Amino acid sequence: MTLRLTSAPVAGVKKRKSTPRSRDSPFADHGRRKPHSPAAHAVKAAAEKLGDEDPLPDKGRSQYISTTAEVRDVVAAIRSIRTRMFDELPQRAGMNSTRIAEVLNLRRSLPPLASVAHIHTLLNAPTQVEREIVELLQAGRIRRLIIPGRGNDAAGLGDCLVLAEEWEESVRENSALSDELKEKFLNILSRIGASSALSQSIFTPDEYRVLVRAGFLVSSSTYTQASLNVTSLPNLPPAVISSASRKGPALASDNDRPVQTDAQARAATLFLSLPNTGTYLRLLGAGRAHLIALLRRSPWSEAPLGLLKDRWDGAVETEKSFHSAKRARGEFAGVLPGRTKKWKDLYGMQFRWALEEALGAGLVEIFETGSVGPGIRCL
């Protein structure tokens, strides 16, 4: 006979098991939010507080660009502008190998130019910058490339600087020129000083054609379409200006020599150039136009700097942790960079570089808002 220690099984009494009582989490009342960077969240909150229809508060002109620029002289500014024009290709670019090669080849083919307006934006000392430019031109360390017909005011695209060493390197690496022509052309460059124009009679017809096809010389008649006169052309040789200024029949003292007209004088004048300068200027103009178009999407044609940069880059996926987690889960984390205008039309042009160009050209202005950081406004 088995000894039972309890009579519960016999009496049909079952012990009720206690279940753990659920406790309310102290964070139960807080809704889940997507992770955002603190800076972007602060800008968005301040913008919502201001309201979409209200203009941004203007606390005065901002020195954000000049104070954050890491250059202190003209030569350093030229090198900085040359190296910061484009962003690096992202790992997930969304472009096939043919398109990537096209982007890289275009970047490599652009001339080593830097606009004077861009340099003024970085240094923000007009008198000192112009004085330093003149000194460098006289010393032969830089050359000034002036392209008529591209605008004569600050917003013009035709006033650029290039380091003399980079110009010489561009000439020596060009396969279309013979060694003799390279030495002759570089010798002429050293003798004309800071001038950007020279006479066509310096070269033989064959040399002239080769230099024009290579992109190192441009005839003035290519640029002027009855909109410029000879006196407005920069640094013309005195003989060309004097011959072009004479109109009408020749005097007896001229020994019946035919007098050049304005068109003939222009045709006899050549301007210095660099290969693919036209491509560079078109790309620069497209970047300015795109920046202005993004600004005009906002009321009052103004926007905080951070918001404008987000529009420039597009809704692309990044390498941040929450974007990586979304990709791992198979969720949408943003479009690939290759589908944005920045990469399709502008070949990855950097936002700050385009902004500095527009500021120097007087197309936009930057001001302090006091709440959402620097603001950008169309002029």
pLDDT digits (tens, 9 = 90+) for 204-257: 989 989 999 999 988 766 554 434 333 333 343 443 333 333 334 433 344 444
Residue 192: its pLDDT value, please?
Answer: 84
Residue 366: its pLDDT value, please?
Answer: 94
**Amino acid letter, 122:** L
Residue 194: its pLDDT value, please?
Answer: 80
Highest mean pLDDT among 25-29, 91-95, 136-140, 239-243: 136-140
Question: 241 is written with which tokens?
Answer: 């200006």
Least confident range from 177-186, 241-250, 362-371: namely: 241-250
- Tell me if 373 sits within 8 A of 305, measured CB to CB: yes
pLDDT per residue over 40-68, tens digit each?
555 455 555 544 567 888 899 998 998 99
Angle at 34 between CA 30 and CA 36, to 5 degrees: 115
C-alpha separations of 178 from 171, 188, 191, 275 in Å: 10, 15, 20, 16
- Tell me if 47 sits within 8 A of 375, measured CB to CB: no
**What is the arithmetic mean of pLDDT over 325-329?**
62
Highest mean pLDDT among 220-234, 260-274, 303-317: 303-317
pLDDT category of residue 187 using cuts at 50, 70 and 90: very high
SS3 annotation, 54-114: CCCCCCCECCHHHHHCCCCCHHHHHHHHHHCCECCCCCCCCCCHHHHHHHHHHHHHCCCCE
Question: 224 is written with which tokens?
Answer: 């002027």
Label residue 334 left, alpha or beta by phi (over 0 means left) and psi (-120 to 50 means alpha). Answer: left
Q: Give the integer Cα–Cα distance in Å for 347 and 87.
A: 9
Q: Give the integer Cα–Cα distance in Å for 1 and 224.
A: 124
Question: 52 is written with which tokens?
Answer: 């979409």
The fraction of the chain above a pLDDT of 90, given in percent, is 41
Q: Does residue 345 surpass a pLDDT of 70?
A: yes
pLDDT per residue over 101-130, tens digit each?
999 999 999 999 999 999 999 998 999 999
Chain-centroid distance of CA 47 in Å reads 27
- Tell me if 149 sits within 8 A of 160, measured CB to CB: no
Residue 91: its pLDDT value, please?
Answer: 81
Task: Assign 354 to helix, strand or coil.
Answer: helix
What is the Cβ-side half-sphere exposure of residue 211, based on CA atoms within 13 angstroms?
A: 26
Q: How large is the angle between the packed helices 305-313 and 351-360, nearest 10 degrees?
A: 120
Could you tell me the pTM of the whole model? 0.72
The string of DSSP codes covering 170-185 is: HHHT-TTS-HHHHHHH
Residue 329: its pLDDT value, please?
Answer: 63
Name residues whose C-beta falls within 8 Å of residue 75's C-beta, 6 or more positions apart in sequence: 136, 141, 142, 163
> Residue 325: beta bridge partners?
none
**What is the arithmetic mean of pLDDT over 325-338?**
65
Burial of 116 (0-12, 13-18, 19+ CB in 10 A): buried
Nearest to 237 by CA among 260, 206, 205, 210: 260
